[in-house]
Structure 1
Amino acid sequence: MAGENAISVTGLGVRFRRNRRGRRSIKAIFSSARRRTPKGEFWALRDVSFTVRPGESIGVVGRNGQGKSTLLKLVAGVLLPDEGTVEVSGGVAPLIEITGGFVGDLTVRENVRLTAGLHGMSRRQVTDRYDEIIEFAELEDFQDTPYRHLSNGMKVRLAFSVVSQLDHPILLVDEVLAVGDKAFREKCYARIDELLAGGRTLFFVSHREADLKRFCTRGLYIRDHRLALDAPISEVLEEYNGDNERS
């Protein structure tokens, strides 16, 4: 158990095959971490350690390809580490690859019930919150429309609306606020503010400095696939921006 921490990460490392982006064999998953990295593989993250206390708002920054989204997937349990441990206290509400898990031939109504159920909502909870989910997503006129006929913006609105209704204490967010129109982003901001005011823990990956400053008090800077800095978000952004200017 993670004890008093919401998230505890110790000596975390994960490696991928370059020619199979992220797809690893069972042999690779269970191989010894001490073994030399085989040809064609690389460490997406290595020797990453930190803790997150309940109610903290953490922003994760770094250049593309440094392992930020991989870190969120490890915390979410979507990926298994090759070395080290990830311990999470309580469930996670993952806004990661946000439209994943929806079924194209099912209607909006059917997808809400299916996806919310897969995330741990009871049938009663889904029924009680269904109208609010549809209203937030602005899909009142599309409830019986097959999911595959929705626009990309509609799909994102639906996914955010479902996941933000989960009661899990940890919210994982990966760049989803950069999607959609300005009006809907403001609704998302207000919803996240509401969740944070209720004591949720936020683990947030973004390239939008304004969003990081708005929601996060602390930052993690991933550089060269390792944790380069764990500090207040203003210090982390200053270091990150300085590296970008020098490169």
Structure 2
Amino acid sequence: MFELRNVTKSYLTPKGRRYIFRDLSLAIPPGKNIGLIGRNGAGKSTLMRLLGGADIPDSGTIATDQSISWPVGLTGGFQGSMTGRENIKFVCRVYGATGDAMREKIRFVEEFAEIGNWIDEPIKTYSSGMRSRVAFGLSMAFDFDYYLIDEVMSVGDAQFKRKSTELFKDKLQKSKVVLVTHSMREVENLCDIVLHVRDGQVQIYEDVQEGIKAYKA
């Protein structure tokens, strides 16, 4: 379960401070695949980062007893001068995976990403597709209660996309997802509830179709 109490979040812009949420309070039901929907700039990605702990509120509290991933497939956190293997090791240490556990996760990412000897080259020499493959594999190497996805995954060619989708669906047998997307088809296929973000407020719809209808209104 996620519980937000009087959460305020703003960003400083050249035109002054912009408030995304003011005194937002929300209790999200447990054990649900969550779809975050709303217009561009509504605050969907901000809410996802707040739920995942990647961003902190100006004031208020966010509480959960669930383990939450970083955004699946995120490549921005890689250190370019380090090799793929070194980046994987770094993340393993951050999440407490050492010894055999670390070696297993490195092996998993190597086999999944299918980039061969490039795994021992600096990340800055990778193509965007190679970085995405390593990032997605690294996300899947760890088990979380919730996986965060900002927009639908797009990794590699058609065959690799199928492989990625199958692996992710397998993960969702035991875990849940927080999905930020503009694709209502993905919401229908993956989500149990909808959080509609609009005008600094969040409305929970336990009927997915009602949430989609509100979004389209």
* C-alpha contact 2:72 2:147 (8 A) present in aligned 1: no
Q: What corresponds to 1:78 in structure 2?
A: 54
The answer as to 2:11 corresponding to 1:11 is no
The one-letter amino acid paired with 1:77 is: G
Hey, what's the Cα distance between the residues in 1 that align with 2:142 and 2:7?
27
Amino acid at match of 1:230: Y
2:200 is the alignment partner of 1:225: yes
Q: 2: distance between equivalents of 1:220 and 1:173?
A: 14
Looking at structure 1, the residues matched to 74 and 190 of structure 2 have their Cα atoms a distance apart, in angstroms, of 19
- Structure 1 residue 97: Cα displacement: 7.5
Q: Distance in 1 between matches of 2:17 and 2:73?
A: 24
Distance 1:51 1:228, change over 3 A: closer
Match of 1:108? 84
1:192 to 1:229, Cα distance in 2 relative to 1, 3 A? same
The answer as to 2:207 corresponding to 1:216 is: no
Residue of structure 2 in register with 1:173 after alignment: 149
In the superposition, the TM-score normalised over structure 1's length comes to 0.79
Tell me the equivalent position of 2:119: 143
Q: Which stretch shifts more, 61-70 or 140-149?
A: 140-149
Q: Deviations for 1:205-229, whole angstroms, at most 9, x for unmatched residues?
A: 1112222221111100001121144
Answering whether residue 161 of structure 2 is matched by residue 185 of structure 1, we say: yes
* Aligned residue among 178, 192, 211 for 1:203: 178
Give me the whole-angstrom Cα distance separating, in 1, the residues matched to 2:128 and 2:138: 16
Question: Is the 2:72–2:139 contact (alpha carbons within 8 Å) kept by the matching residues of 1?
Answer: no
- The whole-number CA distance in structure 2 between the counterparts of 1:97 and 1:49 is 29
Task: Give SS of 1:49's match.
Answer: strand
Q: TM-score, normalised by structure 2?
A: 0.89
Kindly provide the amino acid, as one letter, of the partner of residue 90 in structure 2: L
CA shift at 1:79, angstroms? 1.7
RMSD over aligned CA atoms reads 2.1
Shift of residue 55 of structure 1? 2.9
Gaps of 5+ in 1: 20-38, 243-247
Aligned partner letter, 1:149 = T
With over 3 angstroms needed to count, the CA separation of the structure-2 counterparts of 1:183 and 1:54, relative to structure 1, is farther
Instruction: Report the CA distance between 1:141 and its aligned residue.
Output: 3.4
